[in-house]
Structure 1
Amino acid sequence: MADPGEEERERHRRWRLVLGAAAEDPLGPTEGRDQAMDAAMAALYDTSSGRAESRSAGLGGSAPRVARWLGDIRQYFPGTVVQVMQADAIERLDLTRLLLEPEMLAAVEPDVHLVGTLLSLNRVMPDAARDAARQVVRTVVAELERRIEQRTRAAVTGALNRAARIGRPRHADIDWDRTIRANLRHYRSEHRTVIPERLIGYGRRSSAVQRDVVLCVDQSGSMAASVVFAGVFASVLASIRSLRTSLVVFDTAVVDLTERLGDPVDVLFGTQLGGGTDVNRALGYARQLIRRPRDSVFVLISDLYEGGDREQMLRRVAEMTAAGVRVVVLLALSDEGAPAYDHENAAALAALGVPAFACTPDAFPDLMAAAIQGRDVRTAIGIGDDM
């Protein structure tokens, strides 16, 4: 049984850390490791109007001081807390400029949000920081690939195989194992054989391109996490030979990153986060990449805050669906919860039979599998009709 006195001391300790130096008089000073933790939190959160007060050490404008602080918080707090504190530091203390310093980049805990910040600074990053920034991005990309690659490959290749299977194959294309299993009930003992009433086969060789996939990604500043996840997914999809995968990113301009899909880090450094949004222009370009409409999946990832020609945007979506393209609109591809988006444009797309919704990275493989097979993508990821 826990000692009541020990529990009270632990409660006292936690409140002292939460309240900070302002509670030193009634609760007493911190000591040892707690003192270091308190100092690390005070440098960030004991602030006024986003700037450190004179009574706290603060982080100021010094990259070495920030680098040391980042090292301290990784020592004292778990990874999930570190990521929250890093994001808070960037926002509260205007540390964006310091992200350009190599010594700070070497100290950070890499995550998707930090990658988004680095990508937004890509064009102004000095050469001295570029190598360190690429290493941060590569570390995050490698972790994301471990998380998504195997499941994406399994879901997509399985869907391709099922979509290619036909019921009246030529003799050379019969899948005998599946055919026998499907006709076991027709076994004839007198002939000691199975009489197949239904043949199952493959209409295409598995090495042939079966689907064209075009990912069209909004790279306005609010879509940072979605850009990171989409870039990694596009590279994984491009490695599946049965798909012809294209990646287009856009703000008010359009950039085709398909040629970079062999290296997701190059893909991400080919983006430029920030700027406005012209979905219509992006759709105009992306349509040129669709060679076989009825064998194509088009995924638009955007919050739909359109700065271009809205009516033409909607017409282009309608034309693609009428031609047989499977169009999927994602308001976000991230773990960040419900996104902000243009409700009017989302409703207009839904009226065209193209509902727009958010998707987590873990659900994206199932969504792609459903799109390839022509199934309801919302049902595949557990979203109801009320979304």
Structure 2
Amino acid sequence: MTDPGLERWRLILGEPSAGALGGLSGDAAERDAALDWLYGRDEGLARRDIRRHGGRGPSQLTTVDWLDGITRLFPKETVERLQRDAVERYEVNDIVTDPAVLERVEPNPSLLRAVLRTKHLMNPEVLRLARRIVDAVVRDLVARLATEVRQSFSGARARRSTRFKQARDFDARRTIRANLGRYNPEDQRIYVETPYFLSRSRRHLAQWQVILLVDQSGSMVSSVIHSAVTAACLWGLPGVKTHLIAFDTAVVDLTSDVSDPVELLMKTQLGGGTDIARAVRYAAQLVEQPRRAIVAVVSDFFEGGSVNDLVRSVGALVDQGTIVLGLAALDEQADPAYDRDCAQKLADAGATMGAMTPGELAAFVAERVGR
């Protein structure tokens, strides 16, 4: 088969399409075998009476062989998608629990999520290798998010002129308005006689508390990762005292590890029940100045305890002047699945409900702190 379009469809449809599209050879046959190793285990195929077999017969690939093969046969973006499907869709856990496999994989966010879900299964040697994935992905996230977070807290530009004229402080709007009388219609230009610039002054930042309460249930793994990174980025910023609390049915204060998100994530334990009300009551004990505190509850709001207790606890914080954020997601997609009924009750109690990216949360905090 030489037609790239037909070959692509043959790879997508598998062996059942060979009669219509022809067979495969060389690298294409190896790609077909690699795809069959992964997607051939889909239970939906049997229900639809589809029997997908790779071009070289029943696959004898090990996970190590498969990883080595896809790295050679597919572009990087496709490799990451295949690895993500392997660990998240088909739960091929030896990708993150087998030392021989861990030494070969390229760190990416899907593997980080898999490590956090399965690290309780790992012996110390495997955990040491898995930590490489955690470290690489987290440091990449910190590098990308830290700039966005810190920009939210940079000095505000005051609306007054300054004699120090720098290009970054040029006030284009005021300059155009002041020089409109010098507009020349023939060449359609404004001739500027007096340019205006803004002075920069750092906001006066009074001390605020930001208390992140993070649900450790398995469905919240992406938000757990981004909460740890966000807390690390907020840590040490002027005017902000950051706390990070993880919870399921128990409450664990991880604030002492906030500056090291890798260590923090290695201490989290995903799964278990959910008692959001208990976590909110713990946060209430940490609040020093109610009107200078933000409590952000990151959860899917499927409360395992009493919803009424949760609503009362949130209402008590709101009544004392504390800002309560209910975030059904805190990650780069901010596309949550959550208990809408519980979320509505918390909104009625005065909480601000929604989903945010880490940058949006930082901007929200910076706006309050800078007032």
Q: Distance in 2 between the 1:116 and 1:253 partners?
A: 22
Q: Distance in 1 between the 2:367 and 2:355 partners?
A: 16
Q: 1:72 and 1:237, CA in 2 relative to 1: closer, same or farther beyond 3 A?
A: same
Q: 1:76 and 1:366, CA in 2 relative to 1: closer, same or farther beyond 3 A?
A: farther
Q: 1:287 and 1:137, CA in 2 relative to 1: closer, same or farther beyond 3 A?
A: same
What is the one-letter code of the residue matched to 2:273?
G
Contact 1:113 1:225 in 2 (8 A): no
1:1-387, aligned counterparts within 5 Å? 9-47=3-41, 49=43, 55-57=57-59, 59=61, 65-91=62-88, 93-158=90-155, 204=204, 210-336=207-333, 338-373=335-370
What is the one-letter code of the residue matched to 1:43?
W
Gaps of 5+ in 1: 1-5, 60-64, 166-174, 185-199, 375-387
**TM-score of the superposed pair, with normalisation by structure 1:** 0.76
What is the one-letter code of the residue matched to 1:112?
P
Q: Distance in 2 between the 1:286 and 1:369 partners?
A: 20
- Tell me how far 1:46 sits from its aligned partner: 2.2
- Tell me how far 1:35 sits from its aligned partner: 2.2
- RMSD of aligned C-alpha atoms? 3.2
Q: Distance in 2 between the 1:46 and 1:58 partners?
A: 13
Contact 1:231 1:267 in 2 (8 A): yes
> For each residue in 1:186-236, what CA deviation from the matched residue of structure 2 results, as whole angstroms up to 9, or x when unmatched?
xxxxxxxxxxxxxx98895x6xx6211111100101000100011011111
Gaps of 5+ in 2: 164-168, 175-199
Contact 1:113 1:224 in 2 (8 A): no
Q: 1:232 and 1:308, CA in 2 relative to 1: closer, same or farther beyond 3 A?
A: same
- Tell me how far 1:48 sits from its aligned partner: 5.5
**In percent, how many aligned pairs have the same letter?**
35
Q: Which moved more, 1:78-87 or 1:229-238?
A: 78-87
Contact 1:219 1:272 in 2 (8 A): yes
Match of 2:197? none
Q: Distance in 2 between the 1:282 and 1:352 partners?
A: 17
- Tell me how far 1:128 sits from its aligned partner: 1.2
- Tell me how far 1:251 sits from its aligned partner: 0.6
What is the one-letter code of the residue matched to 1:139?
A
Q: Distance in 1 between the 2:241 and 2:13 partners?
A: 56
What is the one-letter code of the residue matched to 2:33?
A
Contact 1:320 1:327 in 2 (8 A): yes
- Tell me how far 1:140 sits from its aligned partner: 0.4
Q: Which moved more, 1:293-302 or 1:17-26?
A: 17-26
Contact 1:297 1:372 in 2 (8 A): no
- Tell me how far 1:70 sits from its aligned partner: 1.9
Q: 3-state SS of the aligned residue for 1:152? A: helix
Contact 2:213 2:247 in 1 (8 A): yes
Q: 1:81 and 1:333, CA in 2 relative to 1: closer, same or farther beyond 3 A?
A: farther
Q: Distance in 1 between the 2:13 and 2:96 partners?
A: 29
Equivalenced residue count is 330
Q: Distance in 2 between the 1:128 and 1:177 partners?
A: 60
What is the one-letter code of the residue matched to 2:59?
A
- Tell me how far 1:56 sits from its aligned partner: 2.7
Q: Distance in 2 between the 1:203 and 1:57 partners?
A: 63
Q: 3-state SS of the aligned residue for 1:121? A: helix
What is the one-letter code of the residue matched to 2:12?
V
